[in-house]
Amino acid sequence: MALKRGLFLLIGLTSVTLGTIGIVVPLLPTVPFILLAAYCFARSSDRLHNWLMTHPWFSEALNNWQTKRALSKKLKKRAMIMTTLSFVVSIMIVPLVWVKVMLFSMLCGLLLFLWRIPDLTE
């Protein structure tokens, strides 16, 4: 059980780091990493989960996600645009065709996931 909690903790810390970097680096998506971090912290560390759920930058979106399973239209649109930009740049840079196809497939899957998230009704 300790190994499982440790793995969730490591993934959560990595995700919150990447999500925070994504705030200032436009090609790195923030929303999926922060959602993943919240999921992992809920399974590994009450202290870190509470910290993330009350953080001024992330708390509103995370609480909306946790209670209503919805995101604001603005946040959803921003996540989809930044994710698309990130993947398009990666696809343009990578020289291998099979990697380009894999990245495009991943982009389609992530965009479908984000698109299917309900909009927050206020």
- In DSSP notation, 13-61 reads HHHHHHHHHHHHSTTS-SHHHHHHHHHHHHTT-HHHHHHHHT-TTTHHH
Helices and strands in the chain: count of H runs, count of E runs: 6, 0
pLDDT in tens, 4-40: 999 999 999 999 999 888 887 766 778 888 989 999 9
pLDDT in tens, 34-88: 989 999 999 999 999 999 999 998 888 888 888 888 988 988 898 898 889 888 9
- The CA distance from 61 to 37, in Å, is 13
- The CA distance from 38 to 48, in Å, is 9
